Amino acid sequence: MAVMKMIALTMVGPHDEMEPVARQMVLSGGFQPIPLDFLVNDRRLRSRVTTESENPYDDLLGRIAVIWKVAGERIPDPEPVALDHGFNLFSAKLTVDQVTGKLEAWNQRRVALCEEMEKLEAARNFIEALENLKMKPGELAEAQFILPRFGRLSIENFNRLVESTSDAPMLTIELSRTHENVWALVLIVQGYREGAGKILDAVYFREFSIAEIADQLSEGDPLHQVSDAIAQHRRDLVELEKEAHDLLGERRAEFENLFSKLYTMQRVYDLCKGRGEVSGMYVLSGWIPEDTYEAIREMLERDAPLTTVITEQVSNMAYTGVRIPTMLRNNKFIRSFQDVVAMYSLPSYGEIDPSPFVAITFVLFFGFMFGDAGHGILLWLAATYLGRKRILSKSLSYVMKCASCSSIVFGLMYGSFMGMENEKLALWISPMHDTGTLFGVAILSGIVVISVGMILNMVVRYRERDFGRLLFDGQGLAGMFVYWGSAAAIFVSVWGVDVPFPVDYLWYAIFAVLMLSVFRDALARLLLRQTVHSEPAALQVFEVLHNLMNYFTNTASFVRLAAFALNHVALSFAVMTISRMFEDLPAGIILKGLILLVGNAFIVGLEGLIVFIQVLRLEYYEFFGKFYRGGGNVFKPVTWGRDRTPQKS
């Protein structure tokens, strides 16, 4: 349960082996490509490396999708399929040409019919509007003193057009309207042609030529002519769709399999974008989790015997400029709390993943501050509902469910249900009656959490081989002694605990350790033979004092655990008191029930949100501030799915 160790994997092999290798990488979903520009620093070698960025399968996918377009059906969802070595770009193009020759002609006819239909629909709307004005299209097209423009635009853009042209030498007339668009006639003064054109372009005015509408009409009833033409076009479209649908019905399995094959190869080429070619040999590099290497190596030995594999441990990399991605792997419970950590920052590669610690402390702190069995149940129901409605993300919904379960447990320990406390039913303490214990546990929790943060900081320093800061820094071993020693001295002094030595001796020892922190860099050089960059003495003294103050302020911050536990009791008591004030009024029972319902909903919603924020504050500032840096890049492997399938009209 940590940040996964990564390996940089480089594969060099012939084209007929690299395509199936890349396909396996796509289907495994555990390979993040590295652009070759990062790997090849030698300019002479880089000049010999050619890369390919265009994906030739995009066009083939668009062409094969025509089958479903012409048939009027939805394009199917592709599925991963097994490909033989003979299926390559050449064979794919040949197969698509054989399949789509007739269909592309059908599609061109379909597109042409749709465009003509759009013009005919526009002509019909125009003629119907002019009949009400006792005019014909030919008369308007021959106007000499005005420039008529006819077209369609959205309702919102039509309103914008009317407002923006109120003082312009042009008149906008609404001819007809649908639920989305407005058909409009715009009359423009001849000298304002250019300015009107800019205005109409700005509102996305879809213009239809009045002259063309007039030319395609013969003498007689123009509306009848246009209606007949529209009906004929519709019959032609239905016939085209029927023929395509029959063909699709006969060869559906074949077409869907071909579509999936093309999609698979498209994803392979997406993986290979930026890949290199040197003298006919192809180069593909990327990151993989270390625990997947053996399976990949076995696959390469079996399916790509001529491919050379080069692996590099991150610590041995000779090149620079590549940010190593971070991949976290935790169990289901902890995995949901990774998003809580990510809201602060993702761990950088090699850093300690705080998610397991956050998962435990977040749940405990939330329940401690919001301990009420009844309100916990309501919170669980709310989190479940919001998760199913996708108002909350899946992970956040799970986090809130865990937090609500903690509230239920602490509610039983407090003897609290829907704001009503019963000291006799409490399994542990009653916040209102055991305030001292409540605050004591809160402060002790703070000491434990801050200590864990300092221990993790020492682990980080050990990994970095920075033994000077590990031993003598205010956040290291010396700082921990000062922190624990101060806590012990204050406890002994306040509670009058008998110890076998004067308490002053403990303060003297704490002061001596503080001096070690002041001379941290000098001690690292003298005792550990460590090369360190010395900081000014005044700055080191300030840093020691700052750490000392942080010990007290960070610990005091955990008092909020007890404060919000009491706040919850006080709010619940206030709601109960207000509800009792209405008992003797007419319909008092109903009013009391209403107040209890609204009041408890208010407590669950508002206080639940506030407690959530307070827990985040304790995690981010009091805990993360001791050891955590963040700033990692998420591991983004190429996967089977993509946002959309490219289509060609």
Q: Is 299 in contact with 27 (CB distance < 8 Å)?
A: no
632 φ, ψ (degrees, to nearest 5): -80, 160
Q: How far apart are CA 110 and CA 241, in angstroms?
A: 9
Residue 644 in this model has a pLDDT that exceeds 50: no
Residue 646 in this model has a pLDDT that exceeds 60: no
Q: How far apart are CA 325 and CA 348, in angstroms?
A: 8
State how beta strands 633-634 and 325-326 pair: parallel
Beta bridge partners of 310: 10
Q: Is 170 in contact with 188 (CB distance < 8 Å)?
A: yes
Residue from 343, 272, 300, 363 nearest 19 by CA: 272
Residues 6+ apart with CB under 8 A from 545: none
**What value does the CA radius of gyration of the chain take, rounded to a whole number of Å?**
37
Mean pLDDT across the chain: 83
Cα angle vertex 6, ends 55, 455, to 5°? Answer: 145
Residues 6+ apart with CB under 8 A from 232: none
Q: Is 44 in contact with 329 (CB distance < 8 Å)?
A: no
Q: How far apart are CA 647 and CA 69, in angstroms?
A: 10
| pLDDT for 544 | 80
* CB burial of residue 52 (10 Å; 0-12, 13-18, 19+): middle
| pLDDT for 323 | 77
| pLDDT for 133 | 61
Beta bridge partners of 633: 325
Q: How far apart are CA 125 and CA 141, in angstroms?
A: 16
More confident residue, 227 or 223: 227
Residues 6+ apart with CB under 8 A from 200: 149, 151, 161, 186, 207
DSSP 3-state of 65: coil
- DSSP annotation string for 463-523: HTT-HHHHHHSTTSHHHHHHHHHHHHHHHHHHHT---SS-HHHHHHHHHHHHHHHHTHHHH
* CB burial of residue 103 (10 Å; 0-12, 13-18, 19+): buried
Q: Is 331 in contact with 1 (CB distance < 8 Å)?
A: yes
Beta bridge partners of 42: none
pLDDT digits (tens, 9 = 90+) for 384-431: 999 999 899 999 999 999 999 999 999 999 999 988 888 888 999 999
* The pair of three-digit structure tokens given for residue 550, joined into one six-digit string: 């942080």
Q: Is 371 in contact with 414 (CB distance < 8 Å)?
A: yes
pLDDT band, residue 53 (cuts 50/70/90):
low
What angle do the packed helices 503-518 and 520-528 form, to 10 degrees? 80
More confident residue, 644 or 428: 428
Residue from 210, 170, 208 nearest 187 by CA: 170
Q: Is 285 in contact with 13 (CB distance < 8 Å)?
A: no
177 φ, ψ (degrees, to nearest 5): -145, 140
Pick the CATH number of 112-235 from 1.20.140.10, 3.40.109.10, 3.30.470.20, 3.30.70.2750: 3.30.70.2750
Greatest mean pLDDT range, 107-111, 223-227, 552-556: 552-556
What angle do the packed helices 435-463 and 559-580 form, to 10 degrees? 140
Q: Which residue has the tokens 């920052």?
A: 345
Residue 79 in this model has a pLDDT that exceeds 60: yes
Type of residue numbered 327: M
Type of residue numbered 74: R
Residue 365 in this model has a pLDDT that exceeds 90: yes
Beta bridge partners of 184: 151, 174
Residue from 237, 234, 229, 165 nearest 197 by CA: 165
List the beta strands (DSSP E) in 15-66. 32-33, 50-51
pLDDT digits (tens, 9 = 90+) for 125-176: 777 766 666 666 666 666 767 888 888 889 989 998 988 888 888 888 888 8
Residue 610 in this model has a pLDDT that exceeds 90: yes
State how beta strands 6-14 and 50-51 pair: unpaired
Q: How far apart are CA 55 and CA 516, in angstroms?
A: 62
Lowest mean pLDDT among 51-60, 250-259, 479-488: 51-60
Give the other-Cβ count within 10 Å of 77's Cβ: 11
More confident residue, 36 or 149: 149
Give the other-Cβ count within 10 Å of 500's Cβ: 4
> In Å, what is the CA distance from 505 to each residue of 311, 324, 522?
57, 49, 26
* The pair of three-digit structure tokens given for residue 552, joined into one six-digit string: 């007290």
Beta bridge partners of 289: 6
- What is the domain partition of the chain in residue ranges? 2-80+256-326, 112-235, 336-421+563-631
Q: Residue 284: in which H helix or E strand, if any? A: strand 281-289
Instruction: Label residues 510-523 b or e (16+ Cβ within 10 Å = b).
Output: beebbebbbebbeb
Residue 123 in this model has a pLDDT that exceeds 60: yes
